[in-house]
Chain A
Amino acid sequence: DGGITQSPKYLFRKEGQNVTLSCEQNLNHDAMYWYRQDPGQGLRLIYYSQIVNDFQKGDIAEGYSVSREKKESFPLTVTSAQKNPTAFYLCASSVNDRGETQYFGPGTRLLVL
């Protein structure tokens, strides 16, 4: 069963804590993306990766970090430097990064305690 999975579905962060959101895809896609969605707003790009061991900052990368050690995996770390992390985080992938269709995971909702 091919697709994109994200875990956990809900995540709670304490002040000063780093947390990592998981994203895995078995679609053999080269490109992967992380977006942030705030209530009533569109999607804003945090980071994207065109290929393994390479990634680029998006529009709102401050306070976040990523890695792309494997083609299937693109974890996102929300660091303590991100002062307003409460949001819905969406991971996506596409065959390549030439404007092709992005397929989204189910999302992770991050809440601050």
Chain B
Amino acid sequence: GENVEQHPSTLSVQEGDSAVIKCTYSDSASNYFPWYKQELGKGPQLIIDIRSNVGEKKDQRIAVTLNKTAKHFSLHITETQPEDSAVYFCAASRGPVTGGFKTIFGAGTRLFVKA
């Protein structure tokens, strides 16, 4: 069945360094790719998203790239800060207009930023 693979499962970086998290999806009908940040004991919060007609999107220190041909997308965080430490989830989504509702989440990446 459809799935989303997310790597790495754990990532440790020094404050100020960059962090990159990668996801690969299998459903070619996916057309919306959000990224969520989840802090301990809280619900996930959307941090950035990208649609299938766009190759790259940036919001301050966060950027997402999408390669539809290869079916993978990545989250890039520059100048990391200790408050960036959290679990990050990617997701691949399509609505019923392209064949039935489906959002599939990756397993998550636990990011540690060391001060």
Contact = CB atoms under 8 A, between A and B. Distances in A.
Contacts of B43: 4, 6, 90, 92, 104-107
B93 A104 contact: no
Interface of A: 4, 6, 40-43, 45, 48, 50, 56, 90, 92, 96-107, 109
B103 to A, nearest CB: 7
Interface string B92-107: 0111110001010111
Interface stretch (B12-20, B44-52, B58-66, B76-84): B44-52
Given A43-B89, A107-B42, 15 more contacts: A40-B107, A42-B89, A42-B105, A42-B106, A48-B101, A50-B101, A92-B43, A98-B96, A100-B32, A101-B34, A101-B46, A104-B36, A104-B45, A106-B42, A107-B41
Interface string B31-43: 1101010000111
A100 B31 CA distance: 10
Contact of B44 (A48, A90, A96): A90
Nearest to B51: A99
Contact of A100 (B6, B95, B106): B95
A1 to B, nearest CB: 16
Contact of B95 (A6, A56, A98, A107): A98
